[in-house]
């Protein structure tokens, strides 16, 4: 399994957790939005790895945008769910 595929599974799972109503938001608030910074960094690392492996970077770019939008309560939750779906489908369809 390629590194970018593994990272997409990890970041997709984390995004899915953050998209859970009340639980994800509570986690983000309990870390004083630090979770969003960590996710931005993870998406950046995934993007670099995927680009080096000539894979899809769309989910990682969307995840980086979501990390910024995540501070807006309802919109952030929706974006986390969308990003999770994109990353998990991308990981599942990854060719290697």
Specify the number of domains making up the chain. 1
CA dihedral 29, 33, 36, 40 (to 10 degrees): -170
How far apart CA 80 and CA 27 sit, in angstroms, is: 13
Q: In this model, does residue 69 exceed pLDDT 90?
A: yes
**Mind listing the pLDDT tens digit for each residue in 17-53?**
999 999 999 999 999 999 999 999 999 999 999 999 9
How far apart CA 52 and CA 70 sit, in angstroms, is: 27
Given this model, what pLDDT does residue 10 score?
Answer: 98
Tokens of 52: 């080096």
Q: Are 39 and 63 in contact (CB under 8 A)?
A: yes
Range of the domain at 71: 3-93
pTM of the predicted model as reported, rounded to 2 decimal places? 0.94
Tokens of 19: 């998209």
């Amino acid at each position: 399994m390629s590194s970018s595929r593994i990272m997409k599974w990890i970041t997709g799972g984390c995004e899915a957790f953050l998209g859970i109503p009340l639980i994800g938001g509570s986690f983000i608030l309990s870390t004083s939005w630090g979770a969003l910074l960590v996710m931005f960094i993870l998406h950046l690392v995934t993007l670099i790895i995927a680009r080096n492996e000539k894979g899809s970077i769309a989910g990682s770019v969307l995840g980086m945008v979501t990390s910024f939008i995540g501070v807006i309560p309802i919109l952030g939750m929706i974006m986390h769910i969308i990003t999770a779906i994109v990353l998990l489908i991308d990981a599942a369809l990854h060719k290697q």
